[in-house]
Amino acid sequence: MRYAMIMAGGSGTRLWPMSREARPKQLIPFLGGKSLLELSATRLDGVVDADRRYICTNEAFRGAIRSSLPSFSDESILGEPTGRDTLNAVGFTAAILAKRDPNAVFAVLTADHVIEPQDVFARRLDVGFQLVERDPATLVTFGITPTYPATGYGYVERGDAIKGVDDAYVARRFVEKPDRETAEAYLATGHFSWNSGMFVFSAAKVLEAIRWYQPATADGLATIAAAWDTPRRKATLDSIYPSLLKISVDYGLMEPASRDDRLSIAVVPMALSWMDVGSWPTYAATMKADAQGNRAAATWTNLNSHHCLVVSDDPKHLIATVGCENLIVVHTNDATLVCRSDLAEQVKGVASKVPGQYR
């Protein structure tokens, strides 16, 4: 049976001060009044039934998620006592699903992405499910058709076409973030995609693979699963989960799997609009610019400013700029950020330095 899990545990510090410890970026309704997490859940319509969708997140966000997405029950929110990176989010979900459905096949999505159009995404996700349903030893990753030689994304190279399914290929190799010249060469071949960080796995097979590559993690996940439907659930999870090796799914699973003949890796290309909203410049890219290159989600008055992003969560608060160039201005009820656009990556560092009540 088909399931889906949305990873929503990140803190989003590069989107401070809008994103906070108590309300991280995936819960901020700043995209047409909807949050990234809401958009991620809606994206599954037509592919995975609502009662088979899960969210893996920090336990501290459970209440906020229930309020924001009441269609998700407590049982469908897998709360991590502490973040242990993406391999453990995947393994945690697989352990619970396999306990309840030995034939479970699940998609792994993230709450960071803006993806359009939804119908194209749904069709390509369906292809991923078909591949794993046909052969549970297949690990499916989704590749985004690149539109420019990006140096901030990993890449996956497509090999031979897989017979019997629509536009799916053997994954030849994964490569880390390249330099500009290498990215341009990848783009020119037409055989490379951006690595999206989205997958489809058989729950049972991915647990078996974790046991091959990370046996201590597999033991811990098995202990958590054994206690899941007992009064020992919380105590076991709180005791075991923080001890699991902190490692990403790319390094802990996909990299060793790419060298393992017991498994096969398929890439399903997605020719659509895809954006990882992880910083103020990427948020700005979701908005239409005016004639001077400015973008605003605020009550704003401007005189001779160019290429600025202005954001506020208070429509009654007026922001005015005069002669500003390439600035990011973000206002909340208790903090304001003013930052040069080219230094936006350093917002994460500022967020770590502010007093605790502003984090």
* pLDDT for 21: 86
State how far Cα 207 lies from the chain centre. Answer: 21
The model carries a pTM of 0.90
Burial label, 200 (beta-carbon count in 10 A; 0-12, 13-18, 19+): buried
Which domains does the chain possess?
Answer: 2-276 (3.90.550.10), 280-358 (no CATH)
Long-range contacts of 161-164 (CB under 8 A, 24+ apart): 162/131, 162/266, 164/134
pLDDT of residue 278: 87
The whole-chain average pLDDT of the chain stands at 95
Residue 311 Cα distances to 202, 260, 299, 357, angstroms: 42, 48, 8, 21
Run of H or E residues at 118 = helix 118-134
| Residue 33 confidence (pLDDT) | 85
pLDDT tens digits, one per residue of 87-129: 999 999 999 999 999 999 999 999 989 999 999 999 999 999 9
How high is the pLDDT of residue 31?
Answer: 86
Residue type, 213: Y
Res 12: pLDDT: 82
CB burial readout 69-78, b (16+ within 10 A) else e: beebeeebbb
The set of residues, in sequence order, having a beta carbon less than 8 Å from that of 219 and lying 6+ positions away, is: none
At residue 32, the pLDDT reads 83
Whole-number pLDDT of residue 10: 77
289-307 confidence digits (pLDDT tens): 999 999 999 999 999 999 9
User: Which residue in 227, 288, 275, 228 sits closest to 32, CA to CA?
Assistant: 288
pLDDT digits (tens, 9 = 90+) for 176-198: 889 999 999 999 999 999 999 99
**How much is the pLDDT for 30?**
82
- DSSP one-letter code for 241: G
Helix axes 215-227, 203-213, angle to 10 degrees: 140
Residue 199 phi/psi, 5-degree rounding, is: -145, 165
Block means of pLDDT (10 residues each) for the chain, 359 residues, are: 94 90 87 90 92 96 93 96 96 98 97 92 96 98 93 91 94 90 94 94 98 98 98 98 96 94 96 90 94 97 97 96 98 96 95 92
Give the model's pLDDT for residue 143.
Answer: 95
pLDDT at residue 252 in the model: 95
Whether the Cβ atoms of residue 128 and residue 143 lie closer than 8 Å to each other? no
Cα distances from 260 to residues 67, 134, 269, 300, in angstroms, run 43, 19, 22, 56
